[in-house]
């Protein structure tokens, strides 16, 4: 299997097979990540497809200053944030697309589903850091590169996110009583 840089150069030189190989190499983790965050299969598939369409049309702008995977993470995060912004906007106008966060989360009493649901209520930067750190198991240095913040800012935001999640958790437990 060729490395990402070789595949990108091949695609930029007109070899569509290089792009297809690049997608095959990364599509699995992109689909898993989007599905873990969005928790709605059809929307997850649409977002993942949108990510790769964006990659197709933007690859000529890739500057090789970072790893391709870091650049791809950024596109995935942006597309997921766009999805949640759209959901929030639609809910302001009275469209209830999901119960709570998703049907799966509302039907499940599983604590990890509850925690994920609470994480979706965090401010965008904190949510992104939590999702990349916990669900993708990325180090803070990589998270900083993906989100264009310093490693230290990622750590501080992660700490604030944990504090907020603790508070959300306690509030949700009080509401259940």
- Residue 98 is predicted with a pLDDT of 38
The fold adopted by the segment(s) 1-97 is Rna Polymerase Sigma Factor; Chain: A (1.10.1740)
Distance separating alpha carbons of residues 8 and 15, to the nearest angstrom: 9
CATH 1.10.10.10 in the chain is located at 98-177
Q: Is the pLDDT of residue 96 over 60?
A: no
Distance separating alpha carbons of residues 87 and 155, to the nearest angstrom: 28
Please tell me whether the overall predicted TM-score, pTM, comes out greater than 0.85 for this model.
Answer: no
Among 1.10.3720.10, 3.10.20.30, 1.10.10.10, 3.40.50.2300, name the CATH number for the domain at 98-177.
1.10.10.10
């Amino acid at each position: 299997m060729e490395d990402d840089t070789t595949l990108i150069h091949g695609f930029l030189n007109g070899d569509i097979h290089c792009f297809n190989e690049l997608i095959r190499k990364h599509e699995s983790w992109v689909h898993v990540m989007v599905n873990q965050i969005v928790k709605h299969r059809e929307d997850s598939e649409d977002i993942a497809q949108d990510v790769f369409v964006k990659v197709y049309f933007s690859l000529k702008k890739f500057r090789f200053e970072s790893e391709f995977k870091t650049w791809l993470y950024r596109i995935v995060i942006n597309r997921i944030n766009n999805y949640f912004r759209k959901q929030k906007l639609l809910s302001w106008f009275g469209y209830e697309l999901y119960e709570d966060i998703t049907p799966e989360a509302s039907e499940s009493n599983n604590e990890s589903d509850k925690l994920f649901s609470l994480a979706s209520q965090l401010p965008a930067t904190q949510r992104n850091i939590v999702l990349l750190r916990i669900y993708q198991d990325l180090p803070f240095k990589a998270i900083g590169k993906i989100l264009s913040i310093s490693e230290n800012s990622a750590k501080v935001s992660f700490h604030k996110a944990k504090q907020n999640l603790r508070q959300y958790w306690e509030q949700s437990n009080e509401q259940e009583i």
